[in-house]
Structure 1
Amino acid sequence: MTYRQEYPRPQFVRKDWLNLNGVWSFAFDDQKIGTDQKWYAQDAAVFEKEIQVPFAYQTKLSGIEDTSLHDIVWYKRHFEISDLWKGKRIHLHFGAVDYRSWVYVNGQFAGYHEGGHTSFTYDITEYLTGGKETVVVKAEDPSTDETIPRGKQFWLEKSDSIWYTRTTGIWQTVWVEPVEPVRVGNLKWTPDIDHGNIQMEFEIFGDYSEKHVDVEINFQGERIVKDTVFIMERYTSRTFNLYNHKIFRTGFHHDGWNWTPENPNLFDVTIKLKDDNDRSLDDVQTYFGMRKVHTENGMVYLNNKPYYQKLVLDQGYWADGLLTAPTDEDLKKDIELAKEMGFNGCRKHQKTEDPRFLYWADKLGYLVWGECAASPSFNNDSVARLTKEWMEMVARDYNHPSIVAWVPLNESWGIPHVKENLHQQHHSLAMYHLLHSLDGTRLVISNDGWELTKTDICAIHNYNHGTKEEQGKYEAFKAELGTKEAAVASMPAKRRIYADGFSHQGEPILLTEFGGIGYKAGADAGWGYTSVANEEEFVADYRRVMEAVYASNVLHGYCYTQLTDVEQEINGILTYDRKPKCDLKKIKEINDMWHAETIS
């Protein structure tokens, strides 16, 4: 069986493409000799193993399932280009390769990429032979380098505590695409619901003289905009007003066109690049959502209305695939299960998620806080690496309406002395301002959990709710959440909520990690922040913790830990293989008891 055959870039679709997932030849390079011995030009005899791409060698679905440390690995496979693609530029795409990669096509070096969680592309046209083509990938993932953004990937062989099995090498789809020498790229959609405008920005690659772009925007099958944009320069911006359409003019309120978790309205777009003879050069299918998020009066607003966020922490791990979902349906299913429980979004924790997940969040209606894997240590290398990944992440995911917040730092990971260290505080501030400079449409949380600097949300982590027998601890937990003064002054992890020199400036207060009730379902063994013995106790303890959260008059949302068990952590509402630990209707009943109003 070949896995992950769905189109990997749902926000920017062209009809012709070739999926390279499947069986590749594979080799470990523990002696670090592959480059010197030119494995990229060797016969297949060097590659003694086979691996199922896009799964890392540590996973069951890879066919290897070896969790020992191998910092350098090599991949090789053959493919052929369709005769129908002759005369076009051929692009080789990688969804993600952790952490560094060198790519060779027919023995020639095609490119190098650093960063384990974002996509990259090479034009390989000049390296092709027209017959059987060969691609070789060398991937390096230094197991113990703490300046690399690694998130929850452990630097020892056996996972432990909050650290999990590593992912090395290719872990998202590899694919080939034919494009015309003149084509559209770097497309950005920026909605303005206050004026009914959508701004379209794009770049033309190649000779843009005497070219134009036909744009057609449709909503639920009805054409809203049909326009032609004449290309005068490489970078082009055009703003379309949607609310001038006859539907709106005859009384249909534009709130019904906005994107929300309850009504995930999307506009479908066709973009055709043509020359002066009206010959089509590029044809792209895409979409956008009309969505606005901002803060005001201590609350988060979605489309100019207060919106209480009920998020669940989602680490995006699967038992057989680790960071790679076994199927596209598995990505969709996680969102459907969360919504079934009454959550309206998630915080994607320490992971830049597959674009297919974000596509389903857009389609199904699910808020997402985007987060990047953290580096354990702080130095100039870790700063540069984190900054690079964030720039690539925002560029890739900017158009997804489901993403409402960016989380560049978490619990002072990688900045352990940010409380008083000005150097590390400047890094926190730099990430906050960098993200706002790249993206003016979303909120930014400077250091989720505690020791915040400048931030759009006061995000607090507090697991001190205790067990049902620890009534004093529970009452203290409620008191810490009870008022703004108490929440901001609390030290749930013996760390102050704000770093020295910073204080609460009226931003919304959300409890963004709590709960983590441990419950061993079946044969799983592990730990949670508290523990219960059976399903009945699990539901009762979930209710008890949520009652403390909902008793607060200051919280404007939460993020419960967590959606699923992950390896030795058994504090999910679902098991690692996504089986409910209780009747999910009971979780939804509890989640819906407060702040259940929806917006349209």
Structure 2
Amino acid sequence: MCESGEEMVYPRPQLERDGTWQLLDGAWDFANGQADVASPKEVRFDQQICVPFAPETDMSGVDVPARFMTCWYRRNVRWPREPGMRTHLHFEAVDQCGAVWVNGFYAGKVGGPVRSTLDISEFMSASEQEIIVRVDDDPSDMTKSRGKQDWREEAHIIWYPRTTGLWQSVWLENVPEIRIDSLRFEPKVTAWDIGVDVRICGTGERRASWDGWLEIKLKHEGEILADDRYQVCSGLMQRRIGLDDPGVIDERSELMWSPENPHLIDVELRLVNGDGDVIDHVKSYTAMRDVGAVDGRLMLNGMPYFSRMVLAQGYWEESGLTAPSDEALKNDVELAKALGFNGVRLHEKIESERYLYWADRLGLMVWGEMGSSYAFEPSDFAELQTMWGRRVERDMNHPCVVAWVPVNESWGFPALLDEEHQVHAMRSLYYQTKAIDPTRLVLSNDGWEMSDTDVIGVHDYEGDVERLRKRYNLATRGWLEILKQEQPGNRKLLLNDEVYAGQPVVLSEFGGVRLCDEQENGWGYSEAADLGGFAKAYMSLLRFANRKNVFSGFCYTQLTDTYQETNGLLKMDRTSKLPIEMVRQMTVGEHVSLPGGFGEAVRREGVFDLQ
């Protein structure tokens, strides 16, 4: 049921440790319901499930249609105790709230779309370990972070089937008692150096009396950039490592990260004890990359940079929110680039770190979002803040991430115009993000009803390009007047006039054209009758959005069809509706002559892939 020939890939690419680890993806015993059992021992496991796929999906192997609110998982794994080591059990994503037992002992809570880690060392037997997980998820609770998961029984409009339980990888890892626990990089292009924060943790009082050294080596394409050694004098080592500065922008660019040239710097760290023994060894990477906003323009590495982004929702027909493979994540990055985009909005989803790894390696900018809730409840807001903070901390070392978007279209904050406490809550997410990560841009509320924000993100699904030209005509009005007077979607763009202070303006959602003959009950923001009309509509919209004298960038909706929302450039199986090269030319604003009978010619040739 649950076989895979795919090579195992390390789930945490920003802190890859030498040593023993095991991916627990694959067949687990499974049970649905039984919410009232007094003990996990009483659960009747009557099915099997293929982790990490949610039971609502085909790839899970669960073929009994059901409403999943309480799910139970069980797996026995051979994992012997190793002297001098601790055993960590990692859950990459759980929807929503989980509890874990190891060999009958309660080990702790897990949950949310960001990695949860439990130290299970004290509960382990000599060789084989029994792991039981309970996950509870109330699909009707609108105060929880859920993203695009529908609260109705049937998916409708722009909401999709639900995801319950374990939906990303589960894995075991042995770690030294005294170890490198976390890393933080802060490159500064202007100073041509890299800040490195290394948190070292241990067990009990041993850390306080431990004497050793931290070795840090930076390399680019095999060339050593730095090779430093520091005595460990506290649990947090903070250093800035200067690089040899060529002083010439052309030579500097050979080391800087951009979508066109995604140069990465490999980082190797060793923790060495007083006898010279290496007790921990981890690998990571960073990049010389700087983002900002100056004079109404987005900046990358100190230069104006026009962002051509596409909305990516990260769903697959057979596997839902979970990518069917690591190769599928890589393929999504490659497709976005092949279609002419230099960035994506990972929309309403905290995507696997493996996606960000490929975006780092292949060169694709990312706006990182949170899966929204849809109702505001003060008593639940602290939980939302905690989850968002964990997300920012997890992904802030990825050079591909250039902006954070904690709120989309006021979702979860439905009364911003009337309830001041909701405004305070939304603003607090902006300042929380800036406090954790001051190096990136933050949008307080992408789409409309913006408060404190580094970028003005406007959502406008008007399909008539002439109306768009009149609406955003800077020859007749300035941006403040436009933002005050226009209400695309009948929503106020700014909460107050003071919000706009010359920030870059990005058309951060537009398009959404549906090809009518594709799916009878499909949905889109506007429609094209045939492939010829679809191509013309896309070309017209993209020539408008590429006006650099108006916008600092754009984000087209969307990369792929997503269930009934059939307004993607690609179908849900990732085949293209139009020739890839034609879409790329249109994406960058070029005019493409469409020959007579274009639609029929495309239809005869069939679908298009990267080749």
TM-score by length of 1: 0.93
Q: In structure 1, the residue corresponding to 2:472 is in which secondary structure?
A: helix
- Structure-2 separation of matches of 1:328 and 1:388: 28
Aligned match for 1:178, one of 174, 179, 188: 174
Instruction: Note closer, same or farther for the CA distance 1:529–1:522 as it changes in structure 2 (3 Å cut).
Output: closer
Q: In structure 1, the residue corresponding to 2:549 is in which secondary structure?
A: coil
Q: CA offset at residue 501 of structure 1?
A: 5.7
Match of 1:191 in 2: 187
Root mean square deviation of aligned Cα: 1.8
Instruction: Note closer, same or farther for the CA distance 1:482–1:592 as it changes in structure 2 (3 Å cut).
Output: same
Name the amino acid aligned to 2:211.
E
**Contact 2:543-2:590 within 8 A present in 1 as well:** no
Match of 1:571 in 2: 567
- Structure-1 separation of matches of 2:248 and 2:530: 57
Q: CA offset at residue 68 of structure 1?
A: 3.6
Given the alignment of the two structures, is residue 482 of structure 1 paired with residue 481 of structure 2, yes or no?
A: no
Aligned match for 1:513, one of 506, 509, 515: 509
Alignment of 1:433-582 (within 5 A): 433-466=431-464, 474-483=465-474, 484-485=479-480, 487-488=482-483, 489-500=485-496, 502-520=498-516, 525-551=521-547, 553-582=549-578
Deviations 1:317-374 (A, max 9, x none): 1111111000001001011111001000100110000000000000000000000011
Match of 2:16 in 1: 13
Q: CA offset at residue 419 of structure 1?
A: 2.4
Name the amino acid aligned to 1:453.
S
Given the alignment of the two structures, is residue 127 of structure 1 paired with residue 116 of structure 2, yes or no?
A: no
- Structure-2 separation of matches of 1:252 and 1:379: 52
Alignment of 1:177-576 (within 5 A): 177-206=173-202, 207-208=206-207, 209-244=210-245, 248=246, 253-466=251-464, 474-483=465-474, 484-485=479-480, 487-488=482-483, 489-500=485-496, 502-520=498-516, 525-551=521-547, 553-576=549-572
- Structure-2 separation of matches of 1:406 and 1:349: 11
Q: In structure 1, the residue corresponding to 2:148 is in which secondary structure?
A: coil
- Structure-1 separation of matches of 2:64 and 2:214: 50
Aligned match for 2:90, one of 84, 93, 100: 93
Name the amino acid aligned to 2:583.
I
Given the alignment of the two structures, is residue 110 of structure 1 paired with residue 140 of structure 2, yes or no?
A: no
- Structure-2 separation of matches of 1:521 and 1:584: 20
Name the amino acid aligned to 1:71.
M
Given the alignment of the two structures, is residue 27 of structure 1 paired with residue 28 of structure 2, yes or no?
A: no
- Structure-2 separation of matches of 1:487 and 1:74: 53
**Contact 1:377-1:414 within 8 A present in 2 as well:** yes
Deviations 1:146-173 (A, max 9, x none): 1101111011221111111111010111
Q: CA offset at residue 545 of structure 1?
A: 1.3
**Contact 2:114-2:387 within 8 A present in 1 as well:** yes
Q: Percent identity?
A: 37
Q: In structure 2, the residue corresponding to 1:265 is in which secondary structure?
A: coil
- Structure-1 separation of matches of 2:589 and 2:158: 31
- Structure-1 separation of matches of 2:589 and 2:149: 37
Q: How many residues align?
A: 577
Q: CA offset at residue 592 of structure 1?
A: 2.3
Q: CA offset at residue 437 of structure 1?
A: 0.3
- Structure-2 separation of matches of 1:318 and 1:355: 17
- Structure-2 separation of matches of 1:438 and 1:350: 21
Q: CA offset at residue 417 of structure 1?
A: 1.4
Q: CA offset at residue 33 of structure 1?
A: 1.5
Q: In structure 1, the residue corresponding to 2:16 is in which secondary structure?
A: coil
**Contact 2:91-2:110 within 8 A present in 1 as well:** no
Given the alignment of the two structures, is residue 151 of structure 1 paired with residue 151 of structure 2, yes or no?
A: no
Name the amino acid aligned to 1:113.
V
**What 5-or-longer segments of structure 2 have no aligned partner?**
592-611
Q: CA offset at residue 18 of structure 1?
A: 0.6
Which shows bigger deviation, 137-146 or 530-539? 530-539
Instruction: Note closer, same or farther for the CA distance 1:501–1:426 as it changes in structure 2 (3 Å cut).
Output: farther
Instruction: Note closer, same or farther for the CA distance 1:167–1:65 as it changes in structure 2 (3 Å cut).
Output: farther
Name the amino acid aligned to 2:240.
T
Q: CA offset at residue 388 of structure 1?
A: 1.2
Q: CA offset at residue 103 of structure 1?
A: 0.7
Match of 1:469 in 2: none
Q: CA offset at residue 552 of structure 1?
A: 6.5
Q: CA offset at residue 594 of structure 1?
A: 6.3
Q: In structure 2, the residue corresponding to 1:253 is in which secondary structure?
A: helix
Deviations 1:444-479 (A, max 9, x none): 00100000001000100000124xxxxxxx422221
Q: In structure 2, the residue corresponding to 1:122 is in which secondary structure?
A: strand
Instruction: Note closer, same or farther for the CA distance 1:556–1:67 as it changes in structure 2 (3 Å cut).
Output: farther
Match of 1:598 in 2: none
**Contact 1:478-1:552 within 8 A present in 2 as well:** no
**Contact 2:407-2:446 within 8 A present in 1 as well:** yes
- Structure-2 separation of matches of 1:250 and 1:197: 15
Q: CA offset at residue 65 of structure 1?
A: 4.8
- Structure-2 separation of matches of 1:529 and 1:66: 34
Q: CA offset at residue 416 of structure 1?
A: 1.2
Instruction: Note closer, same or farther for the CA distance 1:585–1:251 as it changes in structure 2 (3 Å cut).
Output: closer
Which shows bigger deviation, 330-339 or 59-68? 59-68
Q: CA offset at residue 520 of structure 1?
A: 4.8
Instruction: Note closer, same or farther for the CA distance 1:6–1:525 as it changes in structure 2 (3 Å cut).
Output: farther
TM-score by length of 2: 0.91
- Structure-2 separation of matches of 1:321 and 1:410: 25
Q: In structure 1, the residue corresponding to 2:182 is in which secondary structure?
A: strand
Instruction: Note closer, same or farther for the CA distance 1:215–1:260 as it changes in structure 2 (3 Å cut).
Output: same
**Contact 1:91-1:176 within 8 A present in 2 as well:** yes
Q: In structure 2, the residue corresponding to 1:350 is in which secondary structure?
A: coil
Q: In structure 2, the residue corresponding to 1:46 is in which secondary structure?
A: coil
- Structure-1 separation of matches of 2:235 and 2:318: 45
**What 5-or-longer segments of structure 1 have no aligned partner?**
467-473, 596-600
